[in-house]
Amino acid sequence: MRQLLLLIFVFFASQWLFRKLRRANARSQAASQGTRGGTGSTRARSGNGASGAPQLPDPLVRCAECGVHTPRSETLVVAGQRFCCSDHAHRHAARPTGRDAR
Protein backbone atom coordinates (compact mmCIF):
# COMPACT_ATOMS: atom_id res chain seq x y z
CA MET A 1 0.00 0.00 0.00
CA ARG A 2 2.81 2.36 0.82
CA GLN A 3 4.56 1.54 -2.42
CA LEU A 4 1.44 2.47 -4.35
CA LEU A 5 1.33 5.87 -2.69
CA LEU A 6 4.98 6.37 -3.52
CA LEU A 7 4.29 5.44 -7.13
CA ILE A 8 1.50 7.98 -7.35
CA PHE A 9 3.71 10.62 -5.84
CA VAL A 10 6.50 9.87 -8.29
CA PHE A 11 4.02 10.04 -11.14
CA PHE A 12 2.83 13.51 -10.14
CA ALA A 13 6.35 14.72 -9.49
CA SER A 14 7.53 13.60 -12.93
CA GLN A 15 4.54 15.29 -14.54
CA TRP A 16 5.32 18.51 -12.74
CA LEU A 17 8.96 18.31 -13.74
CA PHE A 18 8.01 17.61 -17.36
CA ARG A 19 5.73 20.61 -17.45
CA LYS A 20 8.42 22.82 -15.97
CA LEU A 21 10.96 21.65 -18.51
CA ARG A 22 8.54 22.25 -21.35
CA ARG A 23 7.85 25.78 -20.17
CA ALA A 24 11.59 26.50 -19.91
CA ASN A 25 12.07 25.16 -23.43
CA ALA A 26 9.35 27.38 -24.85
CA ARG A 27 10.80 30.40 -23.09
CA SER A 28 14.33 29.76 -24.43
CA GLN A 29 12.91 29.23 -27.93
CA ALA A 30 11.10 32.56 -27.81
CA ALA A 31 14.25 34.28 -26.60
CA SER A 32 16.33 32.83 -29.43
CA GLN A 33 13.69 33.91 -31.94
CA GLY A 34 13.79 37.43 -30.57
CA THR A 35 17.55 37.71 -30.92
CA ARG A 36 17.47 36.16 -34.37
CA GLY A 37 15.07 38.74 -35.82
CA GLY A 38 17.42 41.55 -36.76
CA THR A 39 19.75 43.19 -34.24
CA GLY A 40 19.13 46.74 -35.48
CA SER A 41 15.37 46.73 -34.94
CA THR A 42 15.57 45.16 -31.49
CA ARG A 43 18.18 47.68 -30.43
CA ALA A 44 16.00 50.58 -31.55
CA ARG A 45 12.93 49.12 -29.84
CA SER A 46 14.72 48.56 -26.52
CA GLY A 47 15.98 52.13 -26.64
CA ASN A 48 12.46 53.47 -27.04
CA GLY A 49 10.54 51.44 -24.47
CA ALA A 50 13.16 50.50 -21.94
CA SER A 51 11.49 52.40 -19.09
CA GLY A 52 8.08 50.69 -19.33
CA ALA A 53 7.10 47.16 -18.46
CA PRO A 54 7.84 44.43 -21.02
CA GLN A 55 5.13 44.57 -23.68
CA LEU A 56 2.84 41.58 -23.77
CA PRO A 57 2.40 40.02 -27.19
CA ASP A 58 -1.38 40.08 -26.74
CA PRO A 59 -2.53 42.68 -24.17
CA LEU A 60 -5.98 42.44 -22.65
CA VAL A 61 -8.54 44.98 -23.81
CA ARG A 62 -11.77 45.89 -22.05
CA CYS A 63 -15.04 45.36 -23.93
CA ALA A 64 -16.98 48.63 -24.16
CA GLU A 65 -20.29 46.81 -23.71
CA CYS A 66 -19.84 44.21 -20.99
CA GLY A 67 -16.42 45.18 -19.56
CA VAL A 68 -14.89 41.75 -20.04
CA HIS A 69 -11.15 41.73 -20.69
CA THR A 70 -10.32 39.98 -23.94
CA PRO A 71 -7.01 39.42 -25.77
CA ARG A 72 -6.50 42.23 -28.24
CA SER A 73 -6.30 39.93 -31.25
CA GLU A 74 -9.79 38.60 -30.46
CA THR A 75 -11.49 41.96 -30.04
CA LEU A 76 -13.55 43.81 -32.62
CA VAL A 77 -13.03 47.51 -33.22
CA VAL A 78 -16.24 49.36 -34.10
CA ALA A 79 -16.37 53.17 -34.14
CA GLY A 80 -13.09 53.39 -32.24
CA GLN A 81 -14.26 51.13 -29.39
CA ARG A 82 -13.33 47.55 -28.69
CA PHE A 83 -15.76 44.70 -28.12
CA CYS A 84 -15.34 41.09 -27.14
CA CYS A 85 -17.74 39.92 -29.84
CA SER A 86 -19.78 41.23 -32.77
CA ASP A 87 -22.97 40.77 -30.74
CA HIS A 88 -21.81 43.33 -28.18
CA ALA A 89 -20.65 45.70 -30.92
CA HIS A 90 -24.12 45.62 -32.46
CA ARG A 91 -25.79 46.08 -29.08
CA HIS A 92 -23.58 49.04 -28.28
CA ALA A 93 -24.28 50.62 -31.68
CA ALA A 94 -28.03 50.09 -31.30
CA ARG A 95 -28.04 52.04 -28.05
CA PRO A 96 -28.61 55.82 -28.63
CA THR A 97 -25.90 57.01 -26.20
CA GLY A 98 -23.70 55.35 -23.60
CA ARG A 99 -24.90 57.75 -20.91
CA ASP A 100 -27.47 55.41 -19.36
CA ALA A 101 -24.87 52.64 -19.08
CA ARG A 102 -24.23 53.61 -15.48
**Closest Cα to residue 66, out of 48, 79, 80, 84?**
84
Residues in 25-44 at the binding interface with Zn ion, rule: CB under 5 A? none
| Element of type H or E holding 60 | strand 60-62
| 63 touches Zn ion by CB under 5 A | yes
Distance from C-alpha of 60 to C-alpha of 82, rounded to nearest angstrom: 11
Residue 66 near Zn ion by CB under 5 A: yes
Q: Is 78 in the site for Zn ion (CB under 5 A)?
A: no
Q: Which is nearer to Zn ion, 23 or 72 (CB)?
A: 72
Among 61, 65, 82, 89, binds Zn ion (CB under 5 A): 65
